[in-house]
Amino acid sequence: MTEFDRRVERRGTSDLKWNRALAENYLGTALREDMIPMWIADTDFACPPFLLAALRRRIDREIFGYCAPSAAFGEAVCWWQKERFGYQADPGWVVMSPTVVASINIAVHAFTLPGDGVIIQQPVYDPFAAIVTRAGRTVVNNGLVCKKDHYEMDFALLGQQVQEPRNKLLILCSPHNPVGRVWTRAELERLAHLCLENNVLVVADEIHADIVFGGRRSIPLLSLSRRCEESFIQLVAPGKTFNIPGLKTGCAIIPDPAWRKAFADMQTAMSLD
């Protein structure tokens, strides 16, 4: 088990979180030396021993040449989905990628055209909007609504936005970063229904799915129904769960073979494979 009360010194490791100069450059503001950095989703807990042991075994092989994802990678991803969330995916649906952010970028380029609208739900992780605008697409904000102590989706507005022909894709953050909502099955089903009926592709960023509290459980979007499974894309990565974002490992689960090929082809074209 990880020792959650043991301090790990991270200064002097080129770590972005604790490097004040790097953080100031990223945030565009001055920071005091005594400030505790809480601006990035990167914990200060040591990685679990089993993961460190696996890395040491790999290091002992002494060579780090070009590698390709093995069948075991897809099998491990699907095992975790089944074990944690009760969802049985097929290893053949898994496409390895560097990160979830890279996967979103690939999907935006693969499944939309310049000028198309991409729906996001702000306030949300800021790279979502940056990816869309840098790709020459249009950010369409289905802003979340604050109701006293929590946020809700604006389904009335979403119902209008998905009917606009140029709005081709929705990036769903589930659980949501930063508002902390673990979307209920009813909320996910309502969103899925609106998007399915209007041929809007949903790309679900589920990187925080393992980190939920209060007896809640994140529900994979693809697990809602066979139609959702055939029509949407799920993005996952071990970076948040095991605190290894620097290892740059993620994947897209894409059941539809044509979309899976389009995603893989775009990934190759962007030199991200």
Quick one: three-class SS letters along 195-243? HHHCCCEEEEECCCCCCCCCCCCCCCHHHCCHHHHHHCEEEECCHHHHC
Residues contacting 106, CB < 8 A, separation 6+: 97, 252, 263, 266, 267, 270, 272
CATH 1.10.730.10 for domain 71-269, yes or no, is no
Which of 220, 201, 179, 214 has its CA nearest to residue 77?
Answer: 220
Which of 255, 259, 252, 211 has its CA nearest to residue 234?
Answer: 252
Residue-wise burial string across 121-150, b where 16 or more C-beta atoms lie within 10 A, e elsewhere:
beebbebbbebbeebebbbbebebeeeeee
d(CA 17, CA 19): 6
Lowest mean pLDDT among 80-89, 132-141, 184-193, 239-248: 239-248
**Both structure tokens of 120:** 């996001």
User: Pick the residue with more confidence: 197 or 26?
Assistant: 197
At residue 38, the pLDDT reads 85
Tell me what the mean pLDDT of segment 68-75 comes to.
Answer: 93
- DSSP bridge pairs for 273: none
The secondary structure of 159-185, three-state, reads HHHCCCCCEEEEEEECCCCCCCCCCCH
pLDDT tens digit string along 34-44? 888 888 888 88
At residue 260, the pLDDT reads 98
Tell me what the mean pLDDT of segment 191-202 comes to.
Answer: 98
pLDDT at 6 over 90: no
At residue 5, the pLDDT reads 82
Cβ–Cβ under 8 Å, residues 137 and 118: yes
At residue 36, the pLDDT reads 87
Secondary structure of residue 59 in the 3-state scheme:
helix
| CA angle centred on 245, ends 239 and 248, rounded to 5° | 100
At residue 1, the pLDDT reads 57
The structural domains of the chain, with segments of one domain joined by +, span 71-269
Amino acid at 260: R
Tell me what the mean pLDDT of segment 65-74 comes to.
Answer: 92
pLDDT band at 3 (very low <50, low <70, confident <90, very high): confident
Which of 205, 143, 146 has its CA nearest to residue 172?
Answer: 205
pLDDT tens digit string along 207-226? 999 999 988 999 999 999 99
Lowest mean pLDDT among 82-86, 99-103, 148-152: 148-152
At residue 16, the pLDDT reads 82
The residue whose two tokens read 């009917």 is 163
Residues contacting 64, CB < 8 A, separation 6+: none
